Amino acid sequence: MRSLNKEQIKKILFQSVDSANQSLIDEKKIPLDLSTKIFGPYSQIDSLYFVNLIAGVETALFDYHDVEINLFDSISDVDDSFQTLDNLLMLIDTLIHS
């Protein structure tokens, strides 16, 4: 498994958001901001978008960086504080470096 730093992970994450945003009208697109809420009661996205985003991140990590992680399993193990793109970035970083 290849190691990535947080800036590289952020770039992959934002590319995945951009990719997922392409299918949405402008009013529904989520901003490229680490504080954007993506999970939980105050999420700015619906569950389908969330699933597509997570799948896109996993695919990009594997296809372009030979990093294989299962975010769906890991997200189910985190506590209620997991809500933002920054939380997702930190989770990916933890999984890659554990």
pLDDT tens by residue, 49-98: 999 999 999 999 999 999 999 998 888 887 777 899 999 999 999 999 98
DSSP three-state, residue 16: helix
Q: Judge if pTM exceeds 0.75.
A: yes
What CATH architecture applies to the domain 6-96? Orthogonal Bundle (1.10)
- Cα separation of 15 and 42, whole Å? 23
- Give the pLDDT confidence score for residue 82 in this predicted structure: 87
Taking residue 34's Cβ as centre, other Cβ atoms within 10 Å add up to: 15
